[in-house]
Structure 1
Amino acid sequence: MADIWQMLRGGHWPTLLGAWLHLTVSFMVWLLIGALSLPMARALELTGTDLSVLVALPLLGGALLRVFGGWSCDWFGAKNTAVAILIGELAVLLWGWLADPASIGLWCLAVSLGLGGASFAVALPLAGQAYPPSSQGLVLGLAASGNIGTVLVLFLAPRWAESLGWQQVFGIMAGIVTVTCVLFILLVRESRQGDRHRRDVEWWHHAATLLRQRSAYWLCFLYAITFGGFVGLCSVLPMLLYETYGYDAVAAGSVAALCGLVGSVIRPFGGYAADQRGGMRVLYVVLPLIVGSVVAVTSPSQAMGMAMIVLASGAMGVGNGVVFQMVAEEFPEQIGMASGLIGAVGSVGGFAFPIVLSGLKLVTGSYDAGLWFFAGLGVCAWGMVFLRLRGAAVVDGEGAP
């Protein structure tokens, strides 16, 4: 514990706090429709297919906007980009609060909430720039634990909707984003130096270097499993719990919030463990936990199902922290762009999760096929980690992992 405090004192902690706050509130915006899915379905008379697409659209929007956010972070600076994202979130929330929820506008609103997902490509570079390389795993894990916003929105939004109506929740969130924007401007220090021309040249060089690296694509796949699985599961949980175990909106939101809490709180420990033991070795243990728990989510025993949902969320949270420690280690000069690209693929994984789950349920009549499909992808990821560890052991003259 003393080592952790020493690491935190080695950088600019207000910037780390500001980055964490930005990500926390942005995650609340990003998963707002998932948290309000059941009240919105009742009020707007949405079908199950409509609801699954509506829940998934912010995740798709976040995937696309993360790439832009990473580019803007490297080009214009992380702080400027972060402020622009908060202002954009505020505009979207005001639209959702004041506008008539017509069908076309509802889909556009859902995609636009993906702005919250773009925060990841900005908050992590900000935190990373404020600390030395030796602390990157811990610091990025702490900043990324801002996905605890998942917990807050899944717990609070259904309760607000029950008292005030789902549309008023957008107004409440608009106020929260406004306060966050002011605090962020006051707390965060932009560490980027150099002239604009040099940044432009560096950006194109970093882009070309990143796209030539095979490890970037490999890390994309790992993040699609760990982060995509986490955010996709949290988004679809209210609907899954309602249809599988008969939970109402508030109870389902509470369980989903618990899962988000576990996955968020444990994430920094994943980064710290990767700093100490190496990311590959930690993933070698974590991925089987993800696979085993996911296949048991719809267990005949409700208690076992709840335990497996929480275990899956926690294991994915550890995996999130590990993967971004590996990103910082692999691409120290392209952290903004790498965060954007790899985070975007993770968001695509989150977008695909509800769509595949709902589609296979429509065909088979249960969620099991979709969960088994995701588990199969997890097995593939574990096999890749095993082969990389085995190759590294051969080079170093050690035994297999």
Structure 2
Amino acid sequence: MTDEAAADGRAGTGGRTRRGGRWIERWDPEDAGFWAASGERVARRNLVFSVLSEHIGFSVWSLWSVMVLFMGPDYGIDPAGKFFLVAVPTLVGSVLRVPYTFAVALFGGRNWTVVSALLLLVPTLATAWVMTPGTSYPTFLVVAALAGVGGGNFASSMTNINAFYPLRKKGWALGLNAGGGNVGVPVVQLVGLLVIGTAGAAQPRLVPLVYAPLIVVVAVLAARFMDNLGPVTHDTGAARDAAREPHTWVMSLLYVGTFGSFIGYSFAFGLVLQSQFGRTPLQAASLTFAGPLLGSLLRPVGGRLADRFGGARITLGNFVAMAAATGVVIRASAAGSLPVFLAGFTALFVLTGIGNGSTYKMIPGIFQAQAVRRGLAGEAAVAYGRRLSGAAMGLIGAVGALGGLGINLAFRQSFGATGSGTPAFVSFLACYAVCSAVTWAVYLRPGGHGARAGRAAARETPARVRAEV
């Protein structure tokens, strides 16, 4: 069996070829020869179409952050009600990330990408149907909840791409995959700005209708060009094993601080500008996209920095900087200074992007080091790390996304009680302080558990199993 045959899905195990799809039965990205001959090309192709699918998923997930900007007085919904509308898809998307992680093992990465893309048609068309004054608030809540399916795409996409790449390239690959997906947030906000600026605030249905044909195109491309990896299927027990690992929950907390902040701020930013600074829908839409765009584009940079300097070091520095930027936002919020507020908020978006990349780089390194601590070496250590890190990513992504729910609920409470977002930002500052302390104590403190694991991994063959956490 040649590497080329294995990489294009024609080869089977024991002379058997899977039927009904594009299946790859042998996949060993840690083998330098395999990677150079065919693996890198196949991995890159799957990454490209994974990014496209995840991008559309994020756009649909964040659709209601745009829809609420169209809801003027004739909709009869106050700011607290709008913040709750934005929070609902965040909650649903977070919960769905767990079964979406299982779906890759059950059905194959390519197959599930096609199915999950087509599922996006349901919330898209439903939103176009109900977006009119006079629709009841419970109806809006149900349709907003449907948009949560877009949030699930992230977990299955990241789990799938994690299996395609060798450890030494995971930071960049996962950062690029997630960053390309995250760009869906500012893009849908730009679409909303374009609609408001051209057709007016009375035409919200045009926004979801733009996405319906794009969803079909992405599903067709995924079916045509992506692959399923046989070695990672039918291993749903990996998620159970990952859930038993304390590091899964430590990293979940850190991801609440980075990704939870990114998605929560992305969904709420326009409403904050409207509620606290009196911006019109057009003014708010024109300011909301820049921060999420920068955060999305810098996620691969965070992964690359983590590849070079270690994920824990970058993550700790990032949380300290996020605390400082939050201090600027608190001061600007209390003083009513929009320019300083925008500067501080933009810095927060940039830092959430970098932190998203660095935290996700830590995950495969942690489980690779865990394998070494358990006495595994070589291929056994690589297989253990890949299995557990892929499963953990879904759980970590689910918990991390709940941070976005917390942010929107905090804003809802803050504006409802004081008419300002300042109390909410104070609570976010405390969260970043906790995340900084946990990162240092677990992964950087001399003699800490993470530091010991990293040293144990470094004593193994560097080219194969070295793990920097």
2:23 matched residue in structure 1: none
SS at match of 1:116: helix
Shift in Å, 1:318? 0.6
Change (3 A) 1:124 1:103: same
Q: Structure 1 segments of 4 or more deviating over 4 A? A: 8-11, 392-396
Q: Please tell me whether residue 337 in structure 1 is matched to residue 418 in structure 2.
A: no
Matches within 5 A, 1:108-123: 108-123=142-157
Distance 1:387 1:316 in 2: 21
Mapping for residues 76-155 of structure 1, pairs under 5 Å:
76-99=107-130, 101-145=135-179, 146-155=181-190
Structure 2 CA distance for partners of 1:188 and 1:250, relative to 1, 3 Å: farther
Aligned to 1:371: 425
Q: Deviations over 1:106-143 (max 9, x none)?
A: 11111110110011112112322332221111100000
Q: Secondary structure at the match of 2:236?
A: helix
Letter in 2 for 1:277: F
2:205 pairs with 1:170: no
Cα pair 2:62 2:267 within 8 Å, conserved: yes
Structure 2: gaps (5+ residues): 1-35, 368-384, 456-469
Please list the CA deviations of residues 306-329 of structure 1 after superposition, one character each: whole Å capped at 9, or x if unmatched. 111111001010110111111232
1:10 CA displacement: 6.2
| Match in the other structure for 1:390 | 445
Compute the displacement of 1:167 (Å).
Answer: 2.1
Between the aligned residues of both structures, percent identity stands at: 25
Question: What do residues 77-126 of structure 1 show as CA deviations (whole Å, max 9, x unaligned)?
Answer: 22222222111111221222235743322111111101100111121123
**SS of residue paired to 2:328:** coil
Conservation of the 8 A alpha-carbon contact between 2:163 and 2:386:
no
TM-score by length of 2: 0.78
Give the Å deviation of 1:188: 1.5
Q: Paired residue for 2:466?
A: none
Give the deviation of 1:231 after TM superposition: 0.6
Quote how far apart the aligned CAs of 1:346 are.
1.4
Question: Structure 1 counterpart of 2:58, which letter?
Answer: F
C-alpha deviation, 1:177, in angstroms:
1.2
For residues 28-86 of structure 1, the C-alpha deviation after alignment (integer angstroms, 9 at most, x for no partner) is 10001102212124452211111010011110010011111011112222222222211
- Among 307, 321, 327, which residue is 2:343 paired with? 307
Cα pair 1:294 1:312 within 8 Å, conserved = yes
Checking the alignment, whether the CA contact within 8 Å between 1:73 and 1:121 is kept in structure 2 is no
Q: Distance in 2 between matches of 1:98 and 1:241?
A: 27
Which residue matches 2:106? 75
Q: Name the counterpart of 1:38.
A: 69
1:148 and 1:116 map into 2 onto residues whose CA distance is 13
The CA distance in 2 between the partners of 1:43 and 1:335, in whole Å, is 49
Deviation sequence 1:163-215 (CA, Å, 0-9, x none):
16112322222122122212222232222347xxxx44x322x1332121100
Unaligned runs of 5+ in 1: 1-5, 397-401
User: How far, CA to CA, are the matches of 2:106 and 2:72 in structure 1?
Assistant: 41
Once the two structures are superposed, residues 364-400 of structure 1 have per-residue CA deviations (whole angstroms, 9 ceiling, x without a partner) of 332111011011011001011121211347856xxxx
2:196 and 2:282 in contact (8 A); partners too: no
Summarize the alignment of residues 178-327 of structure 1 with structure 2, pairs less than 5 Å apart: 178-193=216-231, 199-200=233-234, 202-204=235-237, 206-297=238-329, 299=332, 300=335, 301-327=337-363
Answer with 273-282 or 292-301: which moved more: 292-301
In structure 2, C-alpha distance between the alignment counterparts of 1:119 and 1:14, rounded to whole Å: 18
CA contact 2:163–2:390 (8 Å) conserved in 1: no
How many Å separate the matches in 1 of 2:204 and 2:56? 18
Shift of 1:11: 5.2
1:138 & 1:215 partners in 2: Cα distance? Answer: 22
Q: After alignment, is 251-260 or 371-380 more displaced?
A: 251-260
Cα 1:392–1:256, aligned 2, differ >3 Å: closer, same or farther? farther
- Assess, with a 3 A threshold, how the Cα gap between structure 1 residues 11 and 137 changes in structure 2: closer, same or farther: farther
Specify the alignment match of 2:463 in structure 1: none
Change (3 A) 1:88 1:161: farther
TM-superposed CA distance for 1:338, in Å, is 1.7
Q: Deviations over 1:277-321 (max 9, x none)?
A: 111111121001111112322513322211111110010101101
Amino acid paired to 1:160: V
Q: In structure 1, what is the Cα distance between the partners aligned to 2:173 and 2:42?
A: 10
Residue type matched to 1:115 in 2? V
* 1:399 corresponding residue in structure 2: none
CA distance in 2, matches of 1:139, 1:77: 19
Deviation at 1:17, TM superposition (A): 0.5
**What secondary structure does 2:329 align onto?**
coil
Question: Which structure's relative contact order is higher, taking Cα pairs within 8 Å and 6+ residues apart?
Answer: 1
Letter in 1 for 2:176: L
Separation (CA, whole Å) in 1 of partners of 2:163 and 2:230? 8
1:122 is paired with a residue whose SS is helix
* Aligned amino acid, residue 190 of structure 2: F
Q: CA RMSD in A?
A: 2.2
Number of residue pairs the alignment of both structures matches: 386
* Corresponding residue number in structure 1 for 2:97: 66
Q: Please identify the structure whose Cα radius of gyration is greater.
A: 2
Secondary structure, counterpart of 2:284 in structure 1: helix
Higher helix residue share: 1
CA distance in 2, matches of 1:41, 1:335: 45
